Amino acid sequence: MGMRSAFDEIMGQAGSTTPRAELAALGNWIATTPDAELRRRQQSAEATFRQLGITFAVYGDSDASERIIPFDIVPRIFLASEWARLSEGLVQRVEAINAFLHDIYGERRILSDGVLPPDLIFGNPQFRPEIAGIRPPHDVWAHICGIDLVRTGPDDFFVLEDNARTPSGVSYMLENREAMLRLCPELFRDFRVAAVDSYPDRLLETMKSVAPQGVAAPVCVVLTPGHYNSAYYEHSFLADSMGVELVEAADLVVDDDIVWMRTIAGRVKVDVIYRRIDDDYLDPLVFRPDSMLGVPGLIAAYAAGNVAILNAPGNGIADDKAIYSYMPEIVKFYSGGEPKLPNVETWRCREPQALKYVLDNLADVVVKLVDGSGGYGMLVGPTATKAEIEAFRAALIAEPHRYIAQPTLALSTVPTMTDAGLAPRHVDFRPFVLTGSKGVQVVPGGLTRVALKEGSLVVNSSQGGGTKDSFVLMDDGAQPLEAQTQTQSQEQTA
C-alpha cells in the first residue's frame, strides 16, 4: 500500500515516466513551465484567496483560526468518457439517497423488507423523529449533495463518504477555476474544459424548482449562522452570485405558518431557504430550545408545505457513517440495479468478527469514528506510530460500536508542487450533485483535495490538505459532448 503502487491521474500507472496519451498536453505544460513560474502563479492565486477572505477555521486551534487552504497549480483532469461513467454512478447514488430519505421518514419499506436493521435507524441520533411524516415540496430531500470519492485506477472510483446535509467547498471549485483561467489560460486552449461558472445559476434553478406548488416567482434566500462560521465566505459568495438575499435567523419571522423576511421595504414572503445551519439550530421550538440561531415556527411552516428547506431537515440519517456501509444495499433497493459506484470495503466494528479482523490488522487499515468528521478521531494504520495504534486498540475494545474500519487504499496521485519541485501527492474528489423537481444533475467539476505531505492519505483541510482545480474535459480528443449530465429522476416511491 502507499504511494508506490498508486495510479497517477496524469502519468498513468505507477512507474510511468510519460503522461497518459490523452493528457500529453498537460505533461508538456509541466515540462516546459519552470517550477519558479508555477510557484509564482500559485502564490498569486493564494494572495487572491487571502484578499477575498476565503479562509477556514481549524477546530481546536485557537491561534490560527483563519487560514487559507493551500492551492496547488497543477490541475487534475477527468476525460469525458471517465466523467460520463462517473456521472451515471453519482446520479444513481443521489437518487437512492433521496428515495431513502423519502422512505425512512414515511413508509419505511426498507425496514419492513428487512434490508436494514431497524435499530440502525431508530437508535441513530441522525434520525429525527420530530420531522417524521413531513413531506418536503416535490419530495426532494437532498438537493445539494457532495459525494466524496477516491480513485485507484482509470475507472476505479469508490465512494468514501456521502454528504447530504450542508456540504461545503463549492466556492473553492469556482474560485480555483477563476484563478486557473487567469493564471494558466494556455491550458484552456490545450483542453476543452467544461465550464463550472454556471453553478450559481444551476443552484438557483434547483431552488426555484422546489418552491411550494403554486408560487409563480419564488423568493429564495441563503440562511447563514453568521460571519463567525468558517464557511461564511461561501455563504455570502453563493448568495451574491445567485442574486438572492443572505439572511440570518433574526431576519426571518414565521407568521401564520408562512416565512417572511424583514426588509427595509417591509415584509417579503420567503418560499425557498438554502440553509447552511444544522438541524439542531433551525427552530428552537422543535429542536434545541437554547438555540439563538433558529427561526421559531420554521418547522411548522415547512410541515404546512409553505416553504422549501434545502437540504431537508433530517437528512443526516442518509450520510451517517453507520449507514454508509449499507449504501450498496440501499442503492440496490431503490434503483433495482447494482450500484454503479462502489463503496470502499467497510468493516463494522459493532460486529464481533469484523472487530477481530480490524484489531488483528490495525497497522494496515484506516479506523474512523462513526460520528466523527473532518479527519478527527481517525487512525491511518500504515502511517501511525505504535502508540497511536495501541491507543486506538484500547478505544476499539472499549466502544467497538463507535468505529468502522476500511482498507488503506492506494489513492490516486496527481503531480503537486512541493518544496522539492513537482511530486505525486494523493487526492480525493468531491463532485457536487443538484436535485430539483425535474431531476438530478452533476456539475462538471468539483473540489479536488490533495494531501500535501509526502505519503499522507489525509486530505482534510484541517489536517494540512490543499485543493486543486478539477478539469472535466468535454471530449476525449474527438467530438465535444454535452457538458452536463441530466437525467429524469425516477418516481421515488417506485
Partner 1 sequence: MRLSVDHRTTYRFSSPQARLTQLLRLIPDGTHDQSVASWNLHVDCDARLRHGRDGFGNRTTMLYVEGPIESIEIAVSGEVLTHSSNGVVHGAHEPLPPAVFLRATPLTTPDADIAAFASAIPDGDPITRLHALNLAVHRRFALDRGRAVAGRSAITAFSQGAASPRDMAQVFITAARVLDVPARYVSGYSPVCAVGAGRPAPHGWAEAYVAGLGWVAFDPCTGLSADEAYARVAVALDSAGAAPVAGSRLGEGEEMLDVDLHVDRSGQ
Q: Closest CB to partner 1 among 304 and 359?
A: 304
313: burial class by Cβ within 10 Å (0-12, 13-18, 19+)?
A: buried
Q: Closest CB to partner 1 among 42 and 126?
A: 126
- Would you state the cell numbers that stand for residue 155, as one nine-digit string? 475507472
Which one, of 485, 451, 381, 462, lies nearest residue 150 by Cα?
451
Least distance in angstroms from the C-beta of 303 to partner 1: 6
Least distance in angstroms from the C-beta of 287 to partner 1: 10
Report d(CA 19, CA 26) in Å as an integer: 8
Contact residues: partner 1, CB under 8 A = 118-119, 122-123, 125, 127-134, 253-257, 284-286, 289, 296-297, 300, 303-304
Which residues contact residue 109 at a Cβ distance below 8 angstroms, ignoring those fewer than 6 apart?
103
Q: Closest CB to partner 1 among 114 and 133?
A: 133
Reduced to 3 states (helix: H, G, I; strand: E, B; else coil), residue 43 is: helix
379: burial class by Cβ within 10 Å (0-12, 13-18, 19+)?
A: buried
Least distance in angstroms from the C-beta of 292 to partner 1: 10
Q: Closest CB to partner 1 among 115 and 380?
A: 115
Report d(CA 238, CA 224) in Å as an integer: 11
Least distance in angstroms from the C-beta of 116 to partner 1: 12
Q: Closest CB to partner 1 among 223 and 331?
A: 223
Report d(CA 113, CA 378) in Å as an integer: 34
Report d(CA 252, CA 386) in Å as an integer: 53
Least distance in angstroms from the C-beta of 84 to partner 1: 41
> 443 and 430 in contact (C-beta within 8 Å)?
no
Least distance in angstroms from the C-beta of 260 to partner 1: 11
Report d(CA 394, CA 377) in Å as an integer: 13
Q: Closest CB to partner 1 among 300 and 451?
A: 300
Output DSSP code: residue 128.
Answer: -
Q: Closest CB to partner 1 among 332 and 350?
A: 350
Least distance in angstroms from the C-beta of 286 to partner 1: 7
Measured on CA atoms in the order 90, 93, 98, 99, is the torsion positive or negative? positive
Distances (CA, A) of 368 to 116, 121, 457: 21, 19, 13
Indicate the Cα dihedral angle 195, 200, 204, 209, nearest 10°: 30
Least distance in angstroms from the C-beta of 302 to partner 1: 11
Least distance in angstroms from the C-beta of 167 to partner 1: 25
Q: Closest CB to partner 1 among 255 and 364?
A: 255
Q: Closest CB to partner 1 among 203 and 318?
A: 318
What secondary structure does DSSP assign to 258-313, as a single string? EEEEEETTEEEE--EEEE-S-GGGT-TTTS-TT-SSS-TTHHHHHHTTS-EEESPT
